[in-house]
Every structure is written in structure tokens, then in C-alpha cells.
Amino acid sequence: MLILVALSVEIKVRDAVRWYGVESSLKVDGKKYRITNGTLRLDLDEGTYNVAVEAPGYSPLRSRITVRKGMPTSFEFLLMPRNRPPVPEGKKGFAVWYGWVVDATTLTPIPGVKVEVVTASGKYTSITDERGYYTLQVPVKKQKAGEEEEYEKAKIIFTKDGYRAYVKEGERLLEGVHRLNVDLTPGRGDVVKKDVHGLFEEKGSAENKKKAPDEGGDSGEGLLATVLIPPTSIKVGRNCSCRSCSSVSIVSLETYVMYGLDDEWIASWPAHSLRAGAVPYRSYGAWHVAHPINSSYDICDNTCCQVWDPSDSYVATENAAIYTSGIMLEDGGSVARSEYSAENNNCGCGDGYAGDGSAWPCIYDPVCSGHSCYGHGRGMCQWGSSRWAGRDSTWKWINDHYYNPGGFYLSSPLAITGISVFPTSACSGDTLTITLDVASYTEYTHNHIMIGASLYNGGYVDDPPRDRLVSVPPGTTSTYRYFVIPSGITPGTYDLLVALWFDVNENGLVNSGDFMMHSRWLYSAVEICPTVSLKEVPYGKDLIFSDPFEIYSPSGRLVAKGRGGKVRLKKGVYFVIHRGKVRKVIIR
């Protein structure tokens, strides 16, 4: 006899930015529940359930949760608001801190909380308003890119009568805008926590180590990026002791990256370092969705996996995550388990080389020469990413540098699903309109996509001035670009190649440093006519022929024919065959 054991399960639904409880709709295997204050308790039999959470003004979340004795029974859904609240303005030379303070029991804002930041230079104080919101500015010592000297640290204290004081120690003071939210628990005494940052902690031991190729050194980039669809959500084990966790947070994959990148990278590092880091951070999380730690959660929140603390984030790291939305690393056509560590120099390959020479190849890495190994040496060197970015290397180059030698390449979350071209017959000087359908498997819009195009008939014919910069939103969208047929082109049938490029250096041009995300061919797309003479005719004037003639539209449709006589045409472009010659006629 099968005996099902019912367990009491706690479901929390919170605003991912402000930390409030959210009034929402919950479905568990299709059964509907209403959550009015952000918290709901259910009795569920042991098993796995499909869960969906929706709320007006928020992006929905869907996941599968497993209820099992001895495993977490508290599940927190962090919903990202579609319109995120504005953030304070940054100020040069200052750490601008802001955030929300919430009652841990009711998930409602707490006004009148004293927020005090204690640093070597003094104390800085703020008070939360009726929304539980605070902001303050703290002066910081400027840190140079690539410097390893110790960062200034601060202690931040949250106090209010009737609540336990919350003290967070070891917060690094970084120039930039920093969100820090806190749950206060009713009662007396103090809750003291130490800030944990993955860069300064030893990584846990790795499973599934990748065997190094026979030869090290940078390999060439893969010719075509593999299209990989990122998972929409990830289950993060919380309050973990290594890989054993007591509760679960469920977030979208991009929210996971936005709120975790600052826990592994230094938020004041150059933008291209942060963008470079967002890719392996996302890929490592997505790999665990496909290879979860257990049925209750995909990944842990500490250095045994990668550090993740959703209570704080920086505008700089959030922007890096959004900028690279959906881009991961692939290994043999699947998402890569993209490791990284703080300092990969001299970890088995000698000074001036990253890698360990066994589980990851040796990579010439001169910017790290002289530094001591700190970490396992595999994948991206985090300090190296900052040093390379400080030398104007791009996020794409940094990923290629550290991952291509091990057989990992950038994947694409964009795909061209359809192409059409008009007209299909053209001559020198004619303009083609190329329309393409694009599927985007991202959570956020990509604003730096170039549409490149080439004609091919034994050789490529390009039109760089018409390469077009577009924004590609999530979902399926239709867009276009033009292509002007150059003079001197050889007549014949041409294939059409269309490509989506990430404009990595943001110069509005397609060049070798950019990332070709996807391409598609349209075979026998355009018929290019022989060189023709051009004649312009005023509208309303007849064309007069003394011999047989044929008149065609640019698409190849026969418009008129005869043995001679007069013809009056509408405004437009036509091709006239008369006395064995082709003439292009423009009626204006």
C-alpha cells in the first residue's frame, strides 16, 4: 500500500526589487490559490508539482517544485516588476546606497528604521520613509582597475524599537549605486552577518572536470554561434552549508544573474569585465538547471557553486546582465559548465599562463604575470578580466581568450527564422528590401544588433553603408534592412546571406571584433540583370516603340508587350527589352 505523507509547505511571493510581499495568483498543478499578503501555507503530499505565479505588473514565474520529507519546504518566488522603480543618481567619488527595509513576518515596509553606515572616515545615517525606503551617500577611495589592494570596508546597521538589530559587516565600499534590502525580525538582540564575496573565498571542489585538449593556446572562434535557449527560471538553494540548503528561492535566470554577478565580480570594475563575467555566471547557472544538485533545487548560493545574494546588487552589474541577456557559453552544442576563479596565473602552467594544464589548457595570459594562483585555475580569470578590460579588451574577446582554448564558445539567444527579399530581379543601382523574422529567447531587449547582408555568386558582394543597427525585443519580431546593388556587378543568380551581429564595440559598423550571433541563407534569392542604360521619363509621357518590345516590373512581372506603338506607364521603375537590349526606365 502506498502511503502519501502530507507536508506543510510555505510559499512566499515577493517583489524582487523592493522585497515586499506581492498579492498574486498561484497555480499548483492547475489548482488555483490566492496569495493576499505574500505568504501562503499549503498541505501538499510528497511529490513534484508544476507551479505558476502571476501578479499584475510583474513578469510571471513558472517552475517545478519537489516536496519531500527531509528537504526544504519553504519556497520563495521573487517576481521582477515590469517597470522597475528608479534608482538614485550616482556621484563620482561616492558609494550611493539605497534599499528597502521589510518586516520579515508580514513582508510589509517598515518606516522609521535608522540606517547607519560606519566607515574609517565616519558615520553616515539615514531613516526609512513610509515605503521602508532609504538612501545615503558614503565617500570612497578611488580604486584603479586591476588593483588588488584591499578595498575599504564598512559596517551597516539597521535598528528600530521592537525589532532585532541587523548588522552586516565587511561590506566593501565601491563607487557606484548599490541596492541593499533587509528583513527585520520582531524581537530583541542583534542579527550579525558577514558579507561573503566569491572573489575572496576559496571555490568549492569541482565535479565533472573537463579534460584539456592536447594543445593549448588560443583557438579560433567557432564559425557559427550555436543557438541555445536559456532556461526561464532557476531554483536556488538558500541558507546553504555547501550543497545542503534549507530553503529555495525561485527567480528568472536573468534576475539570478542581475542579483548574483556582484557577489562574484567587483562592481566597480570596468564595464567590459562585468559583461564578460555575466556570460559564464549565467552559463554556470543554466548548466545546473539542466544538471540540478537534487530535485528540490538546481544550485546552491555559496562558493560550493557560485555566490548569490538577492538582497543586494549594483546598477553596474545589473546593467551588465541585461546587456548580455541570454548569452551563454556552449560546449559541444549544449550549455557549458563555465568555471572561473579569482586568479588563474601560475596554477599549474607557469607564470604568465592561466589554466592548470590537466582539467583546463594552458593559456598565455601576460596581464596576470607575477600574481599568485588563487583558485582552481580553470576557465576565466576574474582578476584577469578586469586587467584585460582595463586595456580596452571587450567582453567578447575576454570570453574567447579564456574559454575558446577549452572548446567553449559564445552561444546566441537570437535566431533568424525567416527571410524575404524584394524585388527578386534587380540591376546596378537598384535597392533591395530585405525583411527578416527574428526569434529572441531573452528576457530583455538587445539594443546593439547589426543586420549584415551579402550577395553570393562564387564571391561575396557587400553593402556596408546599409548595415543597420536595430533593437531586438524578446519574442518574435520582424525587421528589415536595405541593400543597394553596386555598379559593375556580374549578371547572374545570387544567393543572399543575412546575419545578426552584436555590435560589441558599439561603433555602428560590422567588424572583426563583433559577435555574429546567427546567419541564414536564402538560395537563388536575386537575379541580377546585365548592365543596362537608364532613361528617365516624365509622368504622363508616352513611350514610343517602332519594333517589338516587352516591359517588366523589378519583380519580373510582365507589364506590357507589343509589336510597336505607344505605351503610357504609372510612376515607378521598369525594365524594357527592345531591339535585343535592356533599358531601365524610371517614370517620375
23: domain CATH number is 2.60.40.1120
Residues 428 and 323 in one domain: no
pLDDT at 263 (0 to 100): 97
Helix (H) or strand (E) holding 586: strand 581-587
pTM of the predicted model as reported, rounded to 2 decimal places = 0.89
Phi and psi torsions of 82, nearest 5°: -65, -35
Does 205 map to a domain?
Answer: no
pLDDT at 220 (0 to 100): 38
Phi and psi torsions of 485, nearest 5°: -70, 120
- Residue pair 528/485 in contact (Cβ under 8 Å)? The answer is yes
Residues 100 and 160 in one domain: yes
pLDDT at 533 (0 to 100): 75
User: How are beta strands 425-426 and 515-528 bridged, if at all?
Assistant: parallel
Residues 309 and 397 in one domain: yes
Angle between helices 271-290 and 315-323 (to 10 degrees): 70
Q: Which residues contact 385 (CB under 8 A, 6 or more apart)?
A: 265, 269, 273, 276, 277, 398, 402
Does 438 map to a domain?
Answer: yes
pLDDT at 145 (0 to 100): 46
Give the C-alpha separation, 413 to 224, whole Å: 13
pLDDT at 232 (0 to 100): 95
Residues 520 and 544 in one domain: no
- Its domain, for residue 550, covers 533-587
| Domain limit, last residue, from 512, 528, 544 | 528
Does 84 map to a domain?
Answer: no
Strand partners, 51: 28, 63
What does 226-292 look like in DSSP terms, one character per residue? PB----SEEEEEES-BTTB-SEEEEEEHHHHHHTTGGGTS-TTS-HHHHHHHHHHHHHHHHHHHHS-
Tally Cβ neighbours within 10 Å of residue 207: 9
pLDDT at 143 (0 to 100): 55
| Domain limit, last residue, from 385, 410, 435 | 410
Q: Which residues contact 553 (CB under 8 A, 6 or more apart)?
A: 423, 559, 572, 573, 574, 575
What count of Cα atoms within 13 Å lies in the side-chain half-sphere of residue 178? 23
Does 181 map to a domain?
Answer: yes
pLDDT at 428 (0 to 100): 85
Cell of 471: 533593437
Residue in 154, 147, 83 with CA at minimum distance from that of residue 121: 154
pLDDT at 142 (0 to 100): 67
Residues 461 and 497 in one domain: yes
Residues 177 and 307 in one domain: no
Does 474 map to a domain?
Answer: yes
Residues 175 and 72 in one domain: no
Residues 467 and 391 in one domain: no
Give me the CATH number covering residue 524: 2.70.50.60
Does 200 map to a domain?
Answer: no
pLDDT at 141 (0 to 100): 79
Residues 256 and 381 in one domain: yes
Residue in 310, 245, 255 with CA at minimum distance from that of residue 74: 245
Give the C-alpha separation, 368 to 344, whole Å: 8
Residues 275 and 378 in one domain: yes
Residues 399 and 259 in one domain: yes
Does 228 map to a domain?
Answer: no
Angle between helices 271-290 and 382-390 (to 10 degrees): 150
Domain count, the chain: 5
Does 583 map to a domain?
Answer: yes
pLDDT beneath 50: ranges in the chain: 1, 145-146, 205-206, 208, 211-222
- DSSP state, 555? T
| Domain limit, last residue, from 486, 507, 528 | 528
Residues 405 and 469 in one domain: no
